Amino acid sequence: MEKKADIKTLLQSDELGKEVVVKGWVRTKRGSKNVAFIAMNDGSTIKSIQIVVEINSENEKALSNIHTGAALSVNGELVASTGSGQKVEVHAKNIEILGVADPDEYPLQPKKHSLEFLREKAHLRFRTNTFGAIARVRHAMIFAIHKYFNDNGFYNIHAPILTGSDAEGAGEMFQVTTLDLENIPKNEEGKVDFSGDFFGKAANLTVSGQLEAELAALALSKVYTFGPTFRAENSNTSRHLAEFWMIEPEVAFFDINDDMDLAEDMLKYVIQYALDNCMDDLEFLSKRLLEEEKNKKAEERSMELIEKLRFVLNDDFVRITYTEAINILRNSKPNKKKRFQYVIEGWGADLQSEHERYLVEKHFKKPVIITDYPKEIKAFYMKQNDDGKTVRAMDVLFPQIGEIIGGSQREEDYDKLYTRMKEMDIPEESMWWYLETRKFGTVPHAGFGLGFERLILFVTGMGNIRDVIPFPRTPQNLEF
Ligand code: 4AD
Ligand code: MG
């Protein structure tokens, strides 16, 4: 008995005449009275293999039970295909139905379904071409990121997911407790008494692994985390998730320029990796995007997907300061004509996604890195510039996405960090360990956070972040 082969392997095989076993799910079945053609997919590749079955009195009944979505095990012979689009097909000798799919109930019929509809069928959407392609590209990007850092001498660190501190100081955290919510213990001041809680203090899900990565970088020099992070911001946008994955490299002896070089080099490496390893899926996703946008006006359409990926590789990213960015935006047409939702009035304004995209897509037509933001709109740990107004932050902005990376050089001076924490009401009690690293062998260091799903949005050309993570968590949405 032959062992089961992946469809991906079989489609590349030239062992014609070989006896094979294939298992997978039916995408379509068509045919005549005498012969049936079944397109079967097992997820190993976007391509399906064609199964050809001669219909006879013995298998007629079984074949009539095979519909889209059914799982099959097929024994047969690998033969050259006369049809277009594939080299080989399988002439079935025996077909076993492993699992039926009732066509009156199975939601994924062979026709176009909207992405919104498929979000409600997240338990089945992996079986569509689009979501199969996204899952494979996502995997390839995870692998490429680990490979990039490993090849460059970085060590992967697991930062904790449960935490007693707020890394960004922004307070958008999910609380974790084993206290009885029907009967919350209170102290004399009427505040929640966490002393009887699991950890004896308030606990949260982490918003970032950065602070722990910094501790590791101040010993191992080059480290990165790649973990889930959680944000309870109530922003229902196509770019925000409540649970997302973040890659956070942190490097001792790096300044902000080294940090930008690393960000640019890493992004180019992983995008090149996608072009080298995911072409079948990217070609499909490119066609999907063209189809989706065919009714849009030419100037509203995105750049063709593969061309867009190559385009990022060809040029250096533009590097400008926040102050330069504000000047460009203030004098821009959409700002003067008040077409931005948030009109830029002056220095100090936070940049919204519409401003970021204007700079990238309209003004520079290249990825842009903005540095030296006002300290008021950035986190407490960023290195303060001598002007007393700005910090050594850097955000990488991408077409279609806006901010894909946020990072900075870190404040390594104990007194400056301490003062900034006091100014921003960051509680010293929960951060003493972070401060101590600035007392013992402190060095300049820098790092950044790449939003993994934003990278996948870019590489797949999908428009909504809910479609590039298998099971999205967003406000009012915790199904599956
Ligand atoms: O800019 P952020 O908040 O930076 C940090 O968390 C730093 N601790 C990173 C560091 O310096 N080590 O987040 C980093 C990136 C953003 O640029 C964005 O790509 C992504 O994480 N991100 C989100 N992605 C999906 N959903 C959300 N709600 C996100 N919030 C941030
Ligand atoms: Mg940010």
**pLDDT tens for residues 78-110?**
999 987 788 999 999 999 999 999 999 999 998
* Ligand with minimal distance to 246 CA: 1
Which residue puts its alpha carbon closest to atom 26 of ligand 1? 240
Q: What is the mean pLDDT of residues 357-380?
A: 96
Q: Say yes or no: CB of residue 451 within 6 Å of ligand 1.
A: yes
Q: What is the pLDDT confidence band of residue 1, given thresholds at 50, 70 and 90?
A: low
**pLDDT tens for residues 259-280?**
999 999 999 999 999 999 999 9
Asked if 401 contacts 457 with a C-beta cutoff of 8 angstroms, the reply is yes
Give me the CATH topology for the region 127-163+210-226+245-317+366-467: BirA Bifunctional Protein; domain 2 (3.30.930)
Q: Say yes or no: CB of residue 447 within 6 Å of ligand 1.
A: yes
**pLDDT tens for residues 411-457?**
999 999 999 999 999 989 889 999 999 999 999 999 999 999 999 99
Q: What's the pLDDT score for residue 169?
A: 77
Q: What is the mean pLDDT of residues 51-62?
A: 92
**pLDDT tens for residues 188-235?**
999 999 999 999 999 999 999 999 999 999 999 999 999 999 999 888
Q: What is the mean pLDDT of residues 115-119?
A: 97
For a mutational test of ligand 1's pocket, the pick from 222, 236, 266, 454, i.e. the residue with the most ligand atoms closer than 8 A to its C-beta, is 454
Which residue puts its alpha carbon closest to atom 1 of ligand 1? 406
Q: What's the pLDDT score for residue 401?
A: 94
Q: Say yes or no: CB of residue 444 within 6 Å of ligand 1.
A: no
Which residue puts its alpha carbon closest to atom 22 of ligand 1? 451
Q: What's the pLDDT score for residue 331?
A: 95
Q: What is the mean pLDDT of residues 344-366?
A: 95
- 2 has pLDDT over 70: no
**pLDDT tens for residues 120-146?**
999 999 999 999 999 999 999 999 999
On average, the pLDDT of the chain sits at 95
Which residue puts its alpha carbon closest to atom 20 of ligand 1? 451
For a mutational test of ligand 1's pocket, the pick from 207, 229, 246, i.e. the residue with the most ligand atoms closer than 8 A to its C-beta, is 246
Q: What's the pLDDT score for residue 234?
A: 86
For the 7-107 domain, the top CATH level (class) is: mainly beta
Residue with tokens 């990165």: 224
Q: What's the pLDDT score for residue 302?
A: 86
The answer to pTM > 0.95 is: yes
Asked if 251 contacts 443 with a C-beta cutoff of 8 angstroms, the reply is no
- 178 has pLDDT over 60: yes
Domains of the chain by residue range: 7-107, 127-163+210-226+245-317+366-467
Please check whether the two domains, 7-107 and 127-163+210-226+245-317+366-467, share a CATH topology: no
